[in-house]
Amino acid sequence: MMMVLVYFVMMIPISLILNSWLLSQFMYLFLYLIMLMMNYNSFFTKISYFLGLDMFSYNLMILSIIIGSLMVISMKGDKIMYMYMLINICLVIFLLLIFCSMNFLYMYISFELVLIPLVILILGWGYQPERLMAGMYLFFYTLLVSLPLLILILEFYSVSGSLFFDYLKYNDEFFIKHLILVFVFMVKLPMFLMHFWLAKAHVQAPLPGSMILAGLMLKIGGYGLIRVMYIYEYMFIKYSFIWYSLSMVGSILISMMCLIQGDIKSLIAYSSVSHMGMVIMGLMTMSSFGLMGSFMLMLAHGFCSSGMFYMANLFYMRTSSRSFYINKGLMTFMPSCTMFWFILCSFNMSCPPSLNFISEFMILISLNSFWMLSSMYFVFISFFCACFSYYLYSYSQHGLFNNMYSYSNIYMLEYLCLFMHIFPLFMYPLIMMSLM
């Protein structure tokens, strides 16, 4: 694993000196091929310097590399590309450190460090003056919940004598400790009532900021919950109904809020909160189906939501607005994008044969095993998800465009980026079926 990190560190001087986005893209793809050839077992492998791989971290690292390379494509031609490449590589390095850390303290430090390049990205490449407030929201939400976690990590070390995940076991029944441990990851997901920073950060962030927020930053919360669940099993079993209930009600309310949004990026951001609510519900059942369903939904959402933000940015670059009231009739303005937008909206509402459909089906099975009446609420969540996805597609594509006789072409590189968002959502189910 140290080999991968050294590879990324060596990318920094190359990208700064040569200032070539194409070379950086080839280096990302080469590392992706190296990662594909790595083997991983059910528990930590490729161990070096307190870093290792297991099934969860392996898939999330692959997702990080793919989203990182797509972020490079999305900012091609920027005036200060070398500075953007530095921020991009630092972000991916910190994310890889989070996903492959075997030590809780390593994971915590990387968890905090990833905030710095992200805030720089929002403040430096954002669009409106409101980006200053969005950066403050993101910074203080993370800081407020993560500082108590540092004290709790020291408590873990004093009790267990180790901070390695495979040695760490804790049986304290004090609810505040459980609250601190859960809150820090719930804010990152984010859970309903702790989601206010997400809409601000998403809407004011530049395109790569939105892509990495939706594709990777939200996954840190789910990954952290999976890790700490093994540490604190008793308290999760005892109090999981609290987070389960909040997420269930929150997903319905947020789905209804999506229907009154006037901004495309804001609607996609709120839809992420609704989907992450289902991830929390699946995790809180603490069953194998719920765990795997939630993990696969995180991967599916990483590709689907990132692709939707990329498409929203294509509309914004050509119409100079993200409003639904201006972005109407895009089927006549950008006809070649309609199919991609339809596929992404369909996958966002979990239509087969996407990975989203399989993951939500597994989550539904686990919810019924946890509480029989869950399916009633799940029907409402799925219905409203379909409603806002249909609203997102039909309102933007149909209707009369403000200039009836204009149209816009799409560049081949933009087609490639869209295809690379959609292709894994088709391929993952096929790979899983071949392995079963």
Among the candidates 102, 133, 161, a domain finishes at: 102
* pLDDT tens by residue, 267-285: 999 999 999 999 999 999 9
Query: Residues 39, 92: one domain?
Result: yes
Question: Mean per-residue pLDDT for 89-95?
Answer: 92
CB count in 10 Å sphere of residue 337: 21
Q: Does 251 share its domain with 284?
A: yes
Per-residue pLDDT, 405: 64
Boundary of a domain, candidates 45, 76, 102:
102
Expressed as residue numbers, the domain containing 399 is: 103-435
Residues 92 and 167 in one domain: no
Say whether both 224 and 84 belong to one domain.
Answer: no
**72 and 117 part of one domain:** no
pLDDT at residue 339 in the model: 93
Pair 310, 378 in one domain: yes
Query: Does 365 have pLDDT greater than 90?
Result: yes
Whether residue 107 is found in the same domain as residue 59: no
Specify the pLDDT at position 230: 86
**Is the domain of 408 the same as that of 429?**
yes
Q: Are residues 430 and 322 in the same domain?
A: yes
- What pTM was estimated for this model as a whole? 0.94
How many domains does the chain divide into?
2
Q: How confident is the model over 205-217, as a mean pLDDT?
A: 89
Report the 10 Å Cβ neighbour count for 292. Answer: 18
- Which domain-ending residue is among 68, 102, 136? 102
Q: Are residues 66 and 110 in the same domain?
A: no
Q: What is the predicted pLDDT for the residue at 432?
A: 64
Indicate whether 97 and 118 sit together in one domain.
no
> Tell me: the pLDDT tens digits for 308-357?
999 999 999 888 888 888 888 888 888 888 999 999 999 999 898 889 99
How many CA atoms lie within 13 Å of 215's alpha carbon, on the beta-carbon side? 30
Residue with tokens 């991830």: 279
CA-nearest of 200, 297, 290, 304 to 243 is: 290
Residue 123 sits in the same domain as residue 31? no
- Answer yes or no: is pLDDT of 361 > 80: yes
